[in-house]
Chain A
């Protein structure tokens, strides 16, 4: 960070901020646009939001060079790693908007809804491009505040408001922890910049070790909340269940990608000297997440709650990549996130299609006998469930394989075995869904909506899962390449 004096000079390399600028401007445009159009035309804001994401994706690809570039006096970085995770988040947002098209049609002020999604996206994109705790915190809060509102968007639905309030209160607590941790690290190193903190910690010796560890732990805890790592996961089932289903889909991918991306940056740049300590903490977090996610899901009857625990379990797997603390581990995280994006979006698309004529379509019972009425959706849901369970040859298998291989290579054999064991337990509740679909009798009449984009989403995600499952090499290569900016 250069010493900046007032008045600020115009920052160099401003063009790398272009994707973020597009999103910020368009989010505000949509907000205003919504006020001036009649009710029938409000859907246009959804299309505008999708167009914005596509434009941002194109600019992201265009402004990223093989060298990592900084702007805003070193506060913002754009490299392959940031670009790749941004593309994942943009894809998650596009999917989220597509899933919302029918679901949110009846709501008022849907312009606000899409604008909030874009603001959340903006926050995530700031996070992954952060080079220091200040930019990171700015992104985290922008994302979190937008998502709190999104969760409670159906303000007349009790469980939606309740979920939002719980999420907000606990989120504030976690933000407090995060800031507390940052202040400790600032206290011991005198810096916010990741790289400078890293250097300082490497050279400091044991003088301020206790304070450093406290700082590290609180930062980890704050971030762990955002990515629903046990024991900071308690908000997840309630928020997932209460939120409108498209928001559930969005928040189970977008913030997770952003959170893990910035965790990787922090651990690689700022805390290499503390590797031994953060690995022991993460190890327990991973085991707890795997256990809670995979076991508690068995007791759920609501599929959105089940998917919440599923997320916790998957986050446990992703943590294995951080524990490996090796390039293979980080690449495995990116692979996991990429495949997880498609699996989750496909699953939630089908769940949303289940909502019909006054039935929420969220209970496992509602899926009974689907194969006889809609064999196509039934097959897609079956593929998603098998993939989430990690059955070869579907994408989910390679995701799990990559992280487990990485963590075993790093010498944590028992953790790898535990992960495999929990994966076996988890397979039960995924395959139970398939059992409901294929082996049970229809209980309530099915009446699916015929939105073409939703159908396309289901088909596309299913195909991607199968293709990645059969031939994973290209995706894995891209993920390894994306690491160039990080390590």
Chain B
């Protein structure tokens, strides 16, 4: 049942090949890994993912030239009114995501060859990351809420499997469970949102839903939810956004993301920095035609994003685990992206998503290279002066740190700057004011914690334990080459995005794939401001840069050489320091407020329900025993005597006869 609505020059075979190639790799290596061994396993998966990357770039170029694709390939489910096709919607937004996902994935595949070498689960790991790539591509390429949901759940599954990859470690399995369970909370909202979409629109295809949104808003349909009257579109958007909060690690569902660092570092780069966690941002941008019509939902997006951006940045200031610093930074940067989407600067959000993917993946992979060198040590207090041993890692990580801090001309500068400016000019009352102060103070903190981590690792004093020292060396080429590739992205992607793709311009690159109401459009206001020379925009334009530089400066003063300042500050503000070190006590709060009561409830059900009723009176001695008894009786009836059998037949006939005569 092939039904192609519009198609200009894009080949369906090519489009299908992009997700299917990694899937083939995952299945072959997953099923026959025991036979293929390390060498063939990584050759097969890497080749297929690189092929998929090349095709994605090809599609990207074609779409730049004006091609697009909206169409269905197969019918997945038909049940009553519910008709779910499998199809694709390929436009400029999709292709940016496809390219980012496949490039980062390819780099991570290659990097893994070196990083996981000798691990007993080598083939399994490759199978998982290829399957993850497939799921992520389905998520971004699909044309309906159901393909989105399929990809959404599948990436969650592979995230779970990969966090718990070293399943012998208890901390890893606990972290995997935590990630999965916290995501359940988000996915519940997401599923409710999708059902609401189907309920109100009768279809789950993006294009049809988007076309019907204005009519729904016009009609003013509302529903009462927990005695709160809310318009249908707001309800749908908020429910869907709960899913995005779970997947993208936004407060208060962010607790799983730092813990997910228990997984091997390549997947921290791929899943928990560059791709899966950005799915929420992608979703909001993809559904811009819906979010635009709900002021409440937009305000919620801004508030959640700003809170996360600020709060996770404060936590990042004091963490000592190299991966956790980067993880909190990821939460914080995802907050920036949501702020961008909330202030209707979706293109800025996606732009930041793209640049962030490169430099954050680079940061993680470089951190992995460091961890690899210092014998799996992750505490930055036990590092220092590593630049002497690992020059390539040092340089690439320096570039990534500059990009994250937002120093021109590196990638992060362009995208982050755009977000902050957009937040400044968008007038949403107190919401955008709060958000503006949160994100601008976040810039300072970002620069500070990034360079704190960087200096402590590569400069400062040499605190590496003696037994590790003999082992210190630069990582092999399969690790450094992906670092260099990503470094190119971290340096250039922002500049390319602004200069060639014009992501920051009004009505340029994303025109047609992202929808913004004119009265919301912050980019439009920015353009007006640019031509208005009546007042000074010095702070608006240069504030972020000044704050970033001062953040780096403070970090330089405190951490470039070993100084007394860090300990001094911690001793002056002991409460604040402990508060931040303990991550605002979120985990403790959940432990007390949710986990313990749930455990108690579970124990109660187990004791009363399972042991008491199912194993006890109701099922076991009740139903089961009575059936057993019935069976024994029926067995006793079967005496083996012919006359008993004949008697049963005769009784049967006359019983039926009587019944018929009485009822006739």
Contacts and interface: CB of A to CB of B under 8 A. Distances in A.
Given A295-B630, A295-B631, A166 B653 contact: no
Contacts of A300: 635
A169 B657 contact: no
Nearest to A174: B649
B341 to A, nearest CB: 42
Interface stretch (A227-235, A340-348, A403-411): A227-235
A170 B656 contact: no
B664 A213 contact: yes
Interface string B616-649: 0000000000011011101100101010111011
Interface residues of B, number: 26
Nearest to B638: A237
B645 A277 contact: no
A295 B627 contact: yes
A281 B656 contact: yes
A2 interface: no
A218 B657 CA distance: 9
Nearest to A305: B638
A292 interface: yes
A126 B648 CA distance: 30
Contacts, number: 79
Nearest to A165: B642
A364 interface: no
A217 interface: yes
B645 A166 contact: yes
Contacts of A210: 661, 664
Nearest to B644: A234
Interface string A296-318: 11111000000000000000000
B657 A217 contact: yes
**Dominant SS at the B interface?**
helix
Interface residues of A, number: 34
B631 A221 contact: no
Contacts of A217: 653, 656-657, 660
A292 B634 contact: yes
A221 B653 contact: yes
A177 interface: yes
A279 to B, nearest CB: 12
Contacts of B630: 295
A293 B638 CA distance: 12
A422 B660 CA distance: 26
B376 to A, nearest CB: 40
Contacts of B632: 299
A209 interface: yes
B386 to A, nearest CB: 54
Contact of A296 (B631, B642, B644, B661): B631
A214 B657 contact: yes
Contact of A298 (B628, B646, B651): B628
Contacts of A237: 638
A298 B630 CA distance: 9
B612 interface: no
Nearest to A297: B631
Nearest to B641: A166
Contacts of A292: 634
Given A166-B642, A231-B648, A234-B644, A177 B659 contact: no
A280 interface: yes
Instruction: Label chain A's interface by main secondary structure.
Output: helix
A284 B652 CA distance: 10
Given A296-B631, A296-B634, A173 B646 contact: yes
B663 interface: yes
B517 to A, nearest CB: 49
Interface in A159-184: 165-166, 169-170, 173-174, 177
A194 interface: no
Contact of A213 (B638, B642, B660): B660
Contacts of B638: 234, 237-238, 296
Contacts of A209: 664
A221 B656 contact: yes
Contacts of A218: 653
Nearest to A234: B645
A234 B649 contact: yes
A377 interface: no
Contacts of B655: 231
Interface string A400-418: 0000000000000000000
Given A280-B659, A281-B660, A221 B652 contact: yes
A210 B638 CA distance: 33
B649 A221 contact: yes
Contact of A295 (B634, B640, B642, B664): B634
A300 B636 CA distance: 11
A95 interface: no
Interface in A204-231: 209-210, 213-214, 217-218, 221, 225, 230-231
A277 B664 contact: yes
Contacts of A63: none
A277 B660 CA distance: 7
A89 to B, nearest CB: 26
A466 interface: no
Contacts of B642: 165-166, 169-170
Contact of B635 (A165, A231, A232, A296): A296
Interface centre among A209, A217, A277 (most CB of B within 10 A): A217
A425 interface: yes
A298 B652 contact: no
Contacts of B627: 295, 298, 425
Interface in A379-433: 425
Interface in A230-272: 230-232, 234-235, 237-238
B643 to A, nearest CB: 9
Q: Which of A170, A218, A231 has the most CB of B within 10 A?
A: A231
A204 to B, nearest CB: 14
Contact of A284 (B635, B645, B646, B656): B656
B624 to A, nearest CB: 9
Interface string B318-355: 00000000000000000000000000000000000000
Contacts of B628: 298-299
A188 B657 CA distance: 17
B640 to A, nearest CB: 7
A174 B659 CA distance: 20
A384 B407 CA distance: 68
Contacts of A232: 648-649, 652
Interface string A9-22: 00000000000000
A295 B655 CA distance: 22
Interface string B144-161: 000000000000000000
A467 to B, nearest CB: 21
B424 to A, nearest CB: 58
B293 to A, nearest CB: 43
Nearest to A293: B634
A195 B446 CA distance: 90
A232 B646 CA distance: 8
B664 A177 contact: no
B646 A299 contact: no
Contacts of B661: 210, 213
A221 B649 CA distance: 8
A202 to B, nearest CB: 17
Contacts of A225: 649
Interface string A363-376: 00000000000000
Interface of B: 627-628, 630-632, 634-635, 638, 640, 642, 644-646, 648-649, 651-653, 655-657, 659-661, 663-664
25 contacts: A173-B646, A173-B649, A177-B649, A210-B664, A213-B661, A213-B664, A214-B657, A217-B656, A221-B652, A225-B649, A231-B649, A234-B644, A235-B645, A238-B640, A277-B664, A295-B630, A296-B631, A296-B634, A296-B635, A298-B627, A298-B628, A298-B631, A299-B631, A299-B634, A300-B635
Given A173-B646, A217-B660, 5 more contacts: A165-B642, A217-B657, A231-B655, A292-B634, A299-B628
- Nearest first, the 3 A-B pairs at minimum CB distance are A231-B652, A234-B645, A296-B634
